[in-house]
Structure formats: structure tokens, C-alpha cells
């Protein structure tokens, strides 16, 4: 299945000033807070309308709501599940040894605690208020008509988001009914399955899972910290990949009767927090074979490739099997300077050559069947911050650059 769009974007967009002002009194240290005032909700709607107008007028797809209803890209799911309790835990004591994010937050910003979600009972989805349904309906109802539904996507955080950060065995509390990773993730996977089914039933046809933590398995610091905790990272990576099968197998088993038009993407990056901060480095070669071949239900991978010194080259794309695609994250959301169009085209063709050689096919086939382009990350993973020097207009300049390059390379 070729990529849905030749020039795509990751999902989050810079928040307009009016939305930031409406949220000025919001305590964003409470990442998982569900308290939203009527003023903030109206500001979200106005901001989404503005972002939609820009995307449609400039012919930038897929369409997203900019993640404007969220404090940060991963909020909105875990805290909505029955059996989850939001707690504030000390940094770094409650987290994995030398975990890059918590270590970085402590060093750079002096953050001494983080909000997390711990399972205190059996994890189930509240059918009366499922995750992201209200967000999707808010967005869907602002689209011009039903023909735009299939050109729009919603993002979900990775199921491993809480588990990977916390010290081994602490993602669930004593008395929760959980005593091992598999039982915890089996129930969490069922919640994800049902979330996606409900979104699909309400017109959503494109779901993107944001799983930046998979790139931590490429980072020496994370691997060393796990070793000190007694964690086998090969086994841990296998578990996280297996969870995706538990999520999507019940859905995909119904094809082609249902879900034949459902697209599933996965975004991996190294982080894009305040001050253009990234958390980890390392080539995809440590995870590429498992990532591409063992996540059997993922159609498209959004991979960060804007800085070779941070992420390595395109060689890991040799493991991409036919039938799957990669969206090359070639344009930086960390750096406000506009990239050179010719350099971007050369990178696209370089990636295509790697795939073509692995497939024993032509470069043209690899371009057609396997590749698209995007920014390396969202423009504002956290509501209140973006890349250094990035502005509302520079954001659209970057997306229009991708659009124009795609037209020249693919005629799309």
C-alpha cells in the first residue's frame, strides 16, 4: 500500500496566540488534567478552524486538528481509562535508571516530578466516554463535508508510553490485579482496539500511533540504563512490538468485510520539546528489521531523517518489506531555516536507491510504492512551545516546501 499522501505532516501544529492566551492560567504541569473551561474549548474550535483553513487552502494533507485540544501529544488516553490513576512521582527515583527524558528534564529544566498513570485496577474502556471520540467529532464536524474525512487523521500515543518510563514492575500498583507485563498489556491493548473501532465507526479512517520511545532502543544511554536495571532490551522491544499485534489483530481479522479502508501509521522520532530539545540519538539499524517486519499491521512508518549526525543514514531502509511504506522526515521542526529543495530531492532518491537494491527493483518502483516526505516531528509536541525561531508563517513555509518537492518528485 503506497503512502496516502506524498507530502504529509506528523500532526501537531503551533498553537495560535489566542489559544495560548485562553490557556494562560492552565497548569500544564498537570499533563493529564481533564479540566477544560468553556472559554478554552471555544478557543480550540477557533484555532482548529484556522488551521484547517490553512491546510485546505494550501493543499496540505493529511488534515489534522493540530492536536489543539491536548496539553501534550500523549494526553487524552491513559487518564480516561477505568483502572488508571494519575499520580505525581519523583524524578529520577521512580523512573528507569538514566532514562533519557527524565534525566534531560532534571538537568535542563530542573523538573523534580512527573505526572504518570498507574494501573490500580483492571484496565477497561469507558464506553460512555471513549478516548478521543469527542476530539475526533469536534474536528470532523468542522470539516467542509464527508469527503474530507478520509483525508484526515488522528494521533494516539503508544501503548508503552507509561510502562517504558517507569522502573520495572511499577506500571501497576499492588492490589491492581496485575503482576506481569503481559496481563497489563493485554488489557491495555483491548482498550486501544476498542478506541480505534469506535473512531472508525464515527468516520475516522487514518490512525497514527506516536511511538518516539522505540527510538530509545537505538540510544546507548537508554540501553546502558536498562542493563543496570536488569532489563533485557531485546525482550522489552519484542514485547512492545507484540502489543501492536494484540491491538490490531482483532480489527484486521475483519477485513475485507470491515476496516479495508483503515490506514495505520506509526511515527518515531527523538523528541521535539521546548528549545528544540531532542532526547536520544542513534541509527535505526538497531531496530529496523524488527520494526518493519514484526509490526505486521502497520502500513506506514514516519521516520525522522533530518539530521544524519543524530539519526544515521538511510541504510536501515533495506529491511523495509514490499507492501509497507516510509514517510521520510526530512524537514526540521527544530530549526526555523528553510531547507534547500534540491538537497531534499537528492535525499529522497538516495533513500529510494537503498530500497530498490533491497527489493531488486527499479528506483522508480521504490519511489512509487514505498516513499513520501514530511517534517521530522510535529511543530509543537507540547502546547506552549515549538522549535527555536519557529513561527506560524515559517511552519506553513516548511509544509509548502514539502508539498512542492512532492509535486516535483511524484507529480502529486
Q: E strands of 125-222, at which residues?
A: 154-157, 206-210
Please give the grid coordinates belonging to residue 172: 501497576
Q: Cell triple for residue 352? A: 529510494
* All structural domains of the chain with their residue ranges: 17-410
Q: Helical H runs in 205-322?
A: 220-229, 233-252, 288-294, 308-311
Between β-strands 154-157 and 206-210, what pairing exists: parallel, antiparallel or unpaired? parallel
Whole-structure pTM value:
0.95
Average pLDDT along the chain, 412 residues, taken 10 residues at a time: 93 92 65 68 94 98 96 92 94 90 79 91 96 97 97 98 94 95 98 98 98 94 94 97 98 96 95 64 93 95 89 96 97 94 98 98 98 95 80 97 98 83
Give the residue from 287, 283, 311, 285 showing the smallest Cα distance to 234: 287
Burial class from Cβ neighbours inside 10 Å (0-12, 13-18, 19+) for residue 80 reads buried
* Confidence (pLDDT) at 12: 95
Residues in the chain: 412
179: Cβ contacts below 8 Å, ≥ 6 apart: 172
Separation between Cα atoms, residue 10 and residue 375, nearest integer Å:
7
Q: CA-CA distance, 363 to 353, in Å (whole number)?
A: 6
| Inter-residue contact 301 to 268 (CB < 8 Å) | yes
Query: According to the model, what pLDDT value does residue 32 have?
Result: 57
17-410 maps to which CATH number?
3.20.20.210
CA-angle at 87, arms to 82 and 91, nearest 5°: 145
Contact 351, 318 (CB under 8 A): no
The three-class DSSP label of residue 405 is helix
Amino acid at each position: 500500500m503506497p503512502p496516502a499522501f506524498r507530502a504529509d505532516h506528523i500532526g501537531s501544529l503551533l498553537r495560535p496566540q489566542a489559544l495560548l492566551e485562553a490557556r494562560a492560567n492552565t497548569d500544564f504541569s498537570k499533563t493529564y488534567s481533564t479540566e477544560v473551561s468553556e472559554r478554552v474549548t471555544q478557543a480550540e474550535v477557533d484555532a482548529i478552524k484556522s488551521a484547517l483553513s490553512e491546510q485546505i487552502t494550501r493543499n496540505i494533507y493529511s488534515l489534522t486538528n493540530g492536536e489543539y485540544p491536548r496539553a501534550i501529544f500523549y494526553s487524552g488516553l491513559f487518564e480516561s481509562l477505568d483502572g488508571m490513576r494519575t499520580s505525581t512521582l519523583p524524578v529520577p527515583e521512580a523512573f528507569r535508571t538514566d532514562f533519557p527524558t527524565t534525566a534531560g528534564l532534571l538537568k535542563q529544566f530542573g523538573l523534580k516530578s512527573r505526572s504518570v498513570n498507574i494501573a490500580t485496577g483492571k484496565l477497561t474502556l469507558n464506553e460512555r466516554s471513549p478516548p478521543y471520540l469527542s476530539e475526533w467529532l469536534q474536528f470532523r464536524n468542522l470539516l467542509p463535508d464527508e469527503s474530507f474525512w478520509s483525508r484526515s487523521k488522528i494521533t494516539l500515543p503508544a501503548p508503552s508510553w507509561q510502562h517504558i518510563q517507569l522502573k520495572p514492575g511499577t506500571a501497576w500498583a499492588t492490589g491492581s490485579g496485575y503482576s506481569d507485563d503481559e496481563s497489563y498489556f493485554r488489557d491495555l491493548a483491548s482498550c486501544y482496539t476498542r478506541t480505534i473501532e469506535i473512531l472508525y465507526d464515527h468516520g475516522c479512517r487514518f490512525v497514527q500511533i506516536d511511538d518516539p520511545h522505540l527510538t530509545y532502543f537505538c540510544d546507548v544511554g537508554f540501553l546502558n540504563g536498562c542493563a543496570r536495571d536488569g532489563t533485557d532490551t531485546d525482550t522489552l522491544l519484542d514485547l512492545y512490538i507484540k502489543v501492536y499485534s494484540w491491538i490490531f489483530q482483532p480489527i484486521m481479522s475483519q477485513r475485507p468485510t470491515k476496516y479495508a479502508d483503515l490506514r495505520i501509521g506509526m511515527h518515531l522520532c527523538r523528541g521535539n520539546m521546548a528549545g528544540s530539545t531532542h532526547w536520544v540519538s542513534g541509527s535505526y539499524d538497531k531496530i529496523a528489521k524488527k520494526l518493519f517486519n514484526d509490526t505486521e499491521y502497520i502500513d506506514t512508518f514516519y521516520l525522522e531523517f533530518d539530521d544524519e549526525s543524530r539519526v544515521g543514514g538511510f541504510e536501515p531502509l533495506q529491511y523495509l518489506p514490499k507492501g509497507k511504506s516510509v514517510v521520510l522526515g526530512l524537514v526540521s521542526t527544530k530549526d526555523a531555516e528553510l531547507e534547500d529543495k534540491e538537497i531534499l530531492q537528492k535525499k529522497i532518491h538516495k533513500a529510494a536507491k537503498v530500497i530498490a537494491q533491497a527489493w531488486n527493483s527499479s528506483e522508480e518502483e521504490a519511489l512509487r510504492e514505498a516513499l513520501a516526505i514530511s517534517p521530522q516531528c510535529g511543530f509543537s509536541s507540547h502546547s506552549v512551545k515549538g522549535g527555536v525561531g519557529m513561527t506560524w508563517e515559517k511552519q506553513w513555509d516548511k509544509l509548502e516546501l514539502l508539498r512542492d518537492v512532492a509535486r516535483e518528485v511524484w507529480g502529486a
